[in-house]
Amino acid sequence: MEKLTLIKVGGQIVEEPETLNALLKDFSALNGKKVLVHGGGRAATRIASQLGIESKMINGRRVTDTNMLNVVTMVYGGLVNKKIVSGLQALGVNALGLTGADMNYMRSDKRPVKEVDYGFVGDVKEVNSDILADLIEKNVVPVLAPLTHDGNGNMLNTNADTIAAEAAKALAKHAGYTYVDTGAMYRAVALYVQRNKPTPTPSLKEMEHEAIVSLLENVHIDFIQTPEGQHVTLNGEDVEAYIRTLEIGNLASQISTIKEVRAFLVAQQQDMGNAKGIVMDGRDIGTVVFPDAELKLFLTASPEVRAERRFKELEAKGERPIWEEVLADVNDRDYRDTHRAESPLRQADDAVVVDNSHMTREEQMQHIIHLFRERCATV
Does 365 fall in a domain? Answer: no
Clarify whether residues 168 and 38 are in a common domain: yes
Q: Which of 6-15, 44-53, 257-266 has the lowest mean pLDDT?
A: 6-15
* pLDDT, greater one: 10 or 307: 307
Clarify whether residues 137 and 14 are in a common domain: yes
For 116-123, what is the mean pLDDT?
87
Which domain, by its residues, includes 52?
A: 4-174
pLDDT score for 164: 82
User: How many other C-beta atoms can be found within 10 angstroms of the C-beta atom of residue 2?
Assistant: 8
| Mean residue pLDDT across the chain | 84
Residue 279 pLDDT class (50, 70, 90 cuts):
low
From CA 146, how far away is CA 327, in angstroms rounded?
39
Residue 154 pLDDT class (50, 70, 90 cuts):
very high
pLDDT score for 247: 85
For 115-119, what is the mean pLDDT?
82
pTM for this predicted structure: 0.55
DSSP track, 21-32: HHHHHHHHH--S
Clarify whether residues 35 and 148 are in a common domain: yes
- The Cβ-side half-sphere exposure at 288, using a 13 Å CA radius, reads 18
Nearest 5°: the CA angle 215, 340, 336 is 95
User: Is the pLDDT assigned to residue 207 strictly greater than 60?
Assistant: yes
CB neighbour class for 361 (10 Å; exposed up to 12, middle 13-18, buried from 19): exposed
Clarify whether residues 24 and 167 are in a common domain: yes
Residue 176 pLDDT class (50, 70, 90 cuts):
low
